[in-house]
Amino acid sequence: MADRREALRIIGAIGATCAFPFSSGELYGQHAHPPEGKQADAGKPQFFQPGEFAVISRVADLIIPATDTPGAVGAGVPAYIDMVVRGNEQHQAVFRAGLAYLSSQSDGDFLALTEVRQIAVLTALSNAVDKGDLKGPGEKFFRAVKSMSADGYYTSKVGMSVELGYHGGTVLSEYPSCEVPEH
């Protein structure tokens, strides 16, 4: 690999603007370019077959389950995932391979496993991903489906306003001073 300091970089036509210097500032959905509209609903699944969609929905709901607030399915996350995946061939390959992996771990039917077994399959993948191991199709799939579930959930009305309690900018007549005790 070339020495980074010696690498000539052409940044391209669109310049830097005031933006967060992190991938965290971006969402998967930003690159999905769905048709314009002002509704939160990402529409009916167009990429996943009904059986696949059921598995994706189950996995998303295991990643962000219903607690005292709705989980991923209750927030419409599976439809968001379908919207992101339908326009991107790389995502499609990752999801196809991931669904095949889940199938191979469950005698062909992930949904037929008990919840404990389903969680065990995902835990192995999650632990590997958290250690930075993205070699296998299962790991690649888990990272993608978790990222999209988190993006979709925490930008939904349920996730942002009900779960996190954020309702948008509040208008204040004065900014309060902070009273943080010194330890």
Partner 1 sequence: MAAKIYDVVVVGSGAGGGTLSAHLARAGVDVAVVEGGPKVNTRTDFNTHAMPFEFPDRHIPTMKAGKPGYDSERTRGVGGKTMLWNAVAWRQSERDFKGKTFEGAGEDWPVGYKDMAPYYDRIEREVGVCGNLDHLEDLPDGIFLPPVPMKCSDVLVQRGAAKLGLKIIHVRKSTLSRASRTRPACHFCGNCMAGCDVAAKYNSFDVHMSPALKTGHLEIFSNSIVREVVVSNENRVTGVRYLDRTSMKEGEVRGRSVVVACACVQSVALLMMSKSRLYPDGLGNSSGQLGKHFIPHMTGGVEAFLKPMIGKKLTADEGFLDHAYLPSFMHTRKRDYARSFGAQFGYQNRRSVGWARQLPGFGKDYKQSVKDRFPSYLVFSPYGEKIPDAKNFVDLDYTQKDSFGLPLARRHVFWTDNDMKIFNDMQNWSKEVLLQAGGEILSVSDEPKTNHELGGCRMGEDPKTSILNAYCQSHDVKNLFVVDGSVFPSASEKNPTHTIMALAARTAEHIAGRLKKGEM
Min dist CB 89 to partner 1, Å, is 18
**Of 36 and 89, which CB lies nearer to partner 1 in the complex structure?**
36
* Residues in 11-30 that interact with partner 1 by CB under 8 A: 11-27, 29-30
Answer whether 46's CB lies under 8 Å from 79's CB. Answer: no
- Which residue from 183, 171, 147, 160 is spatially nearest to 69, judged by alpha carbons? 160
The CB-of-118 to partner 1 minimum distance in angstroms stands at: 11
Find the radius of gyration of the CA atoms of the chain: 20
Give, as ranges, the residues between 49 and 88 that touch partner 1 (CB under 8 A). Answer: 62-65, 67, 71, 80, 83
State how far the Cα of 24 lies from the Cα of 40, in Å rounded to an integer.
21
Q: Is residue 101 within the footprint of partner 1 (CB under 8 A)?
A: no
Give yes or no for residue 171 binding partner 1 (CB under 8 A).
yes
Token pair 């208008």 is at which residue?
171
Binding-site size for partner 1 (CB under 8 A) equals 78
Minimal distance, residue 173 CB to partner 1, in Å: 7
Question: Is residue 116 involved in binding partner 1 (CB under 8 A)?
Answer: no
Residues 152 and 148: their CA atoms lie apart, in Å, by 6
In this complex, which beta carbon is closest to partner 1, that of residue 73 or of residue 83?
A: 83
Closer to partner 1 at the Cβ: 19 or 107?
19
169 binds partner 1 (CB under 8 A): yes
Q: Estimate the crossing angle of helix 50-63 against helix 137-154, to 10 degrees.
A: 70
CA atoms of 33 and 48, how far apart (whole Å): 18
By CB under 8 A, name the one of 1, 5, 89, 90 that touches partner 1.
5
Query: Exposed (0-12), middle (13-18) or buried (19+): which is 141, by Cβ within 10 Å?
Result: buried
Asked if 93 interacts with partner 1 (CB under 8 A), we say no
Any idea which residue has 């009305």 for tokens? 157
